[in-house]
C-alpha cells in the first residue's frame, strides 16, 4: 500500500519509531565542517542557521579562488547578517545580538540559496554547549533563531533537530519533550507533565531504571551530543 506515514500515539509507539533504521541526516561539528573548503576533498559547504548546504553550484564564489572563499567551511550566519568578511564575524556563532534589519538580511540570503539557487541541504551543524534546565527551555524548535531542538536525558543534552524534528518539533507528537529533561518521562513511559517538571530520578523504580538505560542507548546511537545538562 505504498509508504504510509503512521502517527505514533504514545511512548511505546515512539520507542518503536526510534528503532527504525532509516537514512539519517548527517551532523557536523564546526571543526568537521571546516574540512569542506574546496581544498582537500573538492567539496564546498557553508552553514546558515545551522543548516549545512552544498555550495558547489557557486564554486567560483565560495571555492579556493572565489571572492567569498573565506566563508567556505563555516557557519556564516552572523557574517551574512552583518555583510561582513571579517574573521571575527565568520567564526562567531552568536546571533542573539542581531537587530531586526540584520535578521531580515540573513533570512533573505537563506531564501535565495534555498529557493532560487536550490543549494542541497547536506546536514546540520551541532554547536557544543553546556546548559542549565532553565537555559535548555529555549531550544524547543520555536524560540531559538536556529530552530534547534534539544532534549536532556541522563545529564546529557542531545540535538534532535536533524533526525527527530518530526517527532519532537513544533506540531510533533512529542513536542512537549523539546527543550526539557525527558529522563523521568521516558523512564516512566508517560506524558504526565509532572515528570517534566520534577525530573528527580531517585523517584523511579528498578524497572524504570532499565527502561531509562535503553533510552539512553538509543539517543547515544541516533542523536548528536550538545553538552552537559547542569543544575539551575
Contacts of residue 151, Cβ cutoff 8 Å, sequence gap at least 6: 157, 158, 160, 168, 177, 178, 179, 180, 182, 219, 223
pLDDT recorded at residue 115: 93
How far, in Å, are 23, 29, 56, 97, 219 from residue 216 at the CA level?
20, 21, 37, 35, 5
pLDDT in tens, 130-147: 999 999 999 999 999 999
- Nearest alpha carbon to residue 133 among 186, 197, 192, 187: 197
pLDDT value of residue 9: 45
Would you say 169 and 163 are in contact if contact means Cβ atoms under 8 Å apart?
Answer: no
Q: What is the mean pLDDT of residues 193-208?
A: 94
Instruction: Please tell me the predicted confidence (pLDDT) of residue 14.
Output: 58
Q: What is the pLDDT of residues 80-125, one digit of tens each?
A: 999 999 999 999 999 999 999 999 999 999 999 999 999 999 999 9
Query: pLDDT at position 6, please?
Result: 30
Q: Mean pLDDT of all residues in the chain?
A: 91
Tell me phi and psi for residue 35, to 5 degrees.
Answer: -75, -10
The dotted CATH code for 27-125 is 3.10.120.10
pLDDT at position 34, please? 96
Do 27-125 and 128-230 show the same overall fold? yes
CATH code assigned to 128-230 = 3.10.120.10
**What would the grid cell of residue 190 be?**
508517560
What would the pLDDT profile of 15-68 be if each residue is shown by its tens digit?
A: 555 554 445 679 999 999 999 998 877 899 999 999 999 999 999 999 999 999
User: Nearest-CA neighbor of 102 among 113, 89, 91?
Assistant: 89
Share of the chain above pLDDT 90, in %: 86
Residue 2 confidence class, pLDDT cut points 50, 70, 90: very low
Three-state DSSP at 23 gives coil
Q: What is the DSSP string of 50-107?
A: TEEEE-GGGHHHHSTTSTTGGGTTSB-HHHHHTT---HHHHS----TT--HHHHHHHH
Name the percent of the chain lying above pLDDT 70.
Answer: 90
* pTM, full prediction: 0.88
Q: What is the pLDDT of residue 87?
A: 97
Model confidence at 190: pLDDT above 70:
yes
CA dist., res. 65 & res. 125, Å (int): 25
Q: Which of 87, 126, 86, 79 is nearest to 105 (CA)?
A: 79
Give residue limits of the domains in the chain.
Answer: 27-125, 128-230
pLDDT above 90 (res 7): no
Amino acid at each position: 500500500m505504498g509508504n504510509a506515514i503512521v502517527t505514533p500515539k504514545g511512548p511505546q509507539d515512539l520507542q518503536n519509531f526510534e528503532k527504525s533504521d532509516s537514512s539519517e541526516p548527517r551532523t557536523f561539528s564546526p571543526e568537521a565542517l571546516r574540512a569542506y573548503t574546496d581544498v582537500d576533498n573538492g567539496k564546498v559547504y557553508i552553514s546558515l542557521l545551522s543548516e549545512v548546504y552544498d555550495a558547489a553550484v557557486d564554486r567560483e564564489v565560495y571555492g579556493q579562488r572565489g571572492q567569498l572563499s573565506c566563508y567556505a567551511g563555516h557557519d556564516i550566519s552572523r557574517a551574512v547578517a552583518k555583510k561582513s568578511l571579517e574573521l571575527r564575524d565568520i567564526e562567531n556563532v552568536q546571533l542573539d545580538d542581531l537587530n531586526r534589519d540584520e535578521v531580515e538580511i540573513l533570512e533573505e540570503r537563506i531564501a535565495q540559496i534555498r529557493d532560487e539557487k536550490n543549494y542541497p541541504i547536506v546536514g546540520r551543524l551541532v554547536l557544543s554547549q553546556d546548559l542549565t534546565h532553565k537555559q535548555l527551555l529555549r531550544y524547543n524548535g520555536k524560540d531559538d533563531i536556529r530552530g534547534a531542538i534539544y532534549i536532556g536525558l541522563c545529564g546529557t543534552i542531545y540535538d534532535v533537530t536533524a533526525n527527530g524534528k518530526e517527532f519532537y518539533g513544533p506540531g510533533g507528537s512529542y513536542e512537549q519533550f523539546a527543550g526539557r529533561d525527558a529522563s523521568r518521562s521516558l523512564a516512566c513511559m508517560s506524558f504526565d507533565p509532572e515528570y517534566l517538571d520534577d525530573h528527580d530520578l531517585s523517584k523511579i523504580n528498578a524497572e524504570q531504571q532499565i527502561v531509562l538505560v535503553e533510552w539512553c542507548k538509543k539517543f547515544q546511537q541516533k542523536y548528536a551530543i550538545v553538552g552537559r545538562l547542569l543544575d539551575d
